[in-house]
Chains A and B, each alone.
Chain A
Amino acid sequence: MVFDRIQTGILIIDPETHTIIDANNHAESLLSIKKDKLIGKICHDFVCPAHCGQCPITDLNTPLHNTERTLIAANGERIPILKTVAQASIGERTYLIESFVDIRDRKKAEKRRIALLAYLNESVLRIKKPLELTGENLRLIEQQVGSGDFTTEEIRMQIRLQFNNVKTMVETLQDLASKAAEERDDIPENFREFFIGK
């Protein structure tokens, strides 16, 4: 009863046959399958992607404590989870108690963080450094004007080049900001519109 109220999936597994003995409500919900269809099934290839003979606990003797693993739902969806497996004795028999927490939201947040870092990185590469270079080029053009060695057309061409480059950088920045905003649903609608430029 208590186990049916917690937000952690729990499966009780027979270590010898790898059959599922029991499951709580949250495990049912995550696996998208009713308990009566779950009990008696072999865990390999059903809820766990490990193949027969390669069970991380009973065959490979790998301890699992809050380890990132994948859960296979009945609809084939692979759900990232944090899994812990412990042994427990019930009566005279030993069972495996698998508990797992859904970490899809955490994974999504990680992806967003990586996307944001990629955005910042690309902005520095394609805007900050070229802007510094453009500033330096403008300083050189200023010197050229004073030197009298360069024609008006040569000076004009260079100023136009720097102008076009700055224009391209502004467009790139706008484009990067739009992409970053489109991929984030945690930005308020009016801010997203502002970033996207609509």
Chain B
Amino acid sequence: MSSLADIFSLNLSPDTKLYLLLSTPQDINAMSLMVVKKILEVKCTPLVISLNQPCQVLAKSYAKEGISPDQYYVIDAVTHYSGGTCLPNAHTRYVNHPADLTSLGIAITEFLHQMPSPRKCIVFDSVSMLLIHIPSATASKFLQFVVNKLKISEVSGVFLCVENGLDPTILSQMSAFVDKIVNYDEQKNPLLSKHGL
């Protein structure tokens, strides 16, 4: 496991880095917010793929942390799914359903082309929510597709997941195609994790 500080001291370009961040369900939303803040701190533009919260809610959470809507891009796969209104916005794309992987893939490709910043980083929030909608085998193939796209485009990526929310097969596949796996809880409480608590 790598240290969390290490992730965000990264030089995102030209070294493309891919991370799998694991946390408890209690921490995953705070971790998502913290990741976006850290990405902005290293002068990189985040593209948040949200399967967890509608973009309107994300925008309010980010605004509380001083992050303005023009600093990030969002692919929102849940607003339409939850019966909300998809408000047109140059920084937001909507996908009708979290299981619509084709549309999700197209939105990722198009946004990566469209984003003007030379330094981009996607935040996939989250692998655990994706698993609600599709079988683990399909999720694994899709994530591999996303990772390949990021590597080709030289874009960094952070995949969020609830710890122990991946079966050993997916975890070993993810380990093979991400650069580092980070356990948020271990980073939060290094002393406790050192003593196996």
Chain A interfacial positions (CB closer than 8 Å to B)? 121-122, 124-126, 129-130, 132-133, 135-137, 140, 144, 149-150, 153-154, 156-158, 160-161, 164-165, 168-169, 172
Is the Cβ of B83 less than 8 Å from the Cβ of A157?
yes
Is the Cβ of B82 less than 8 Å from the Cβ of A157?
yes
14 contacts between A and B (CB under 8 A): A124-B167, A125-B136, A129-B25, A129-B162, A133-B25, A133-B128, A136-B25, A136-B26, A153-B84, A154-B54, A157-B83, A161-B53, A161-B54, A169-B132
CA distance A153 to B166 in the complex (A): 33
Those of B63-120 within 8 Å (CB) of chain A = 64, 78-79, 81-85
Is the Cβ of B52 less than 8 Å from the Cβ of A137?
yes
Is the Cβ of B131 less than 8 Å from the Cβ of A126?
yes
Is the Cβ of A126 less than 8 Å from the Cβ of B136?
yes
Nearest chain B CB to A160 CB, angstrom units: 4
B129 CB contacts on chain A under 8 angstroms: 130, 133, 165
CA distance A180 to B131 in the complex (A): 19
B64 CB contacts on chain A under 8 angstroms: 149
Chain B interfacial positions (CB closer than 8 Å to A)? 25-26, 28-29, 52-54, 56-57, 60, 64, 78-79, 81-85, 126, 128-129, 131-133, 135-136, 162, 164-167, 170
A164 CB contacts on chain B under 8 angstroms: 81-82
B85 CB contacts on chain A under 8 angstroms: 153
Is the Cβ of B128 less than 8 Å from the Cβ of A130?
yes
| Chain A minimum-CB-distance residue to B54 | A157
CB contact between B167 and one of A121, A144, A150 (< 8 Å): that residue: A121
Is the Cβ of B83 less than 8 Å from the Cβ of A130?
no
CB contact between A160 and one of B57, B83, B164 (< 8 Å): that residue: B83
Nearest chain B CB to A166 CB, angstrom units: 9
CA distance A164 to B83 in the complex (A): 10
B28, B57, B79: residue with the most chain A Cβ atoms closer than 10 Å: B57
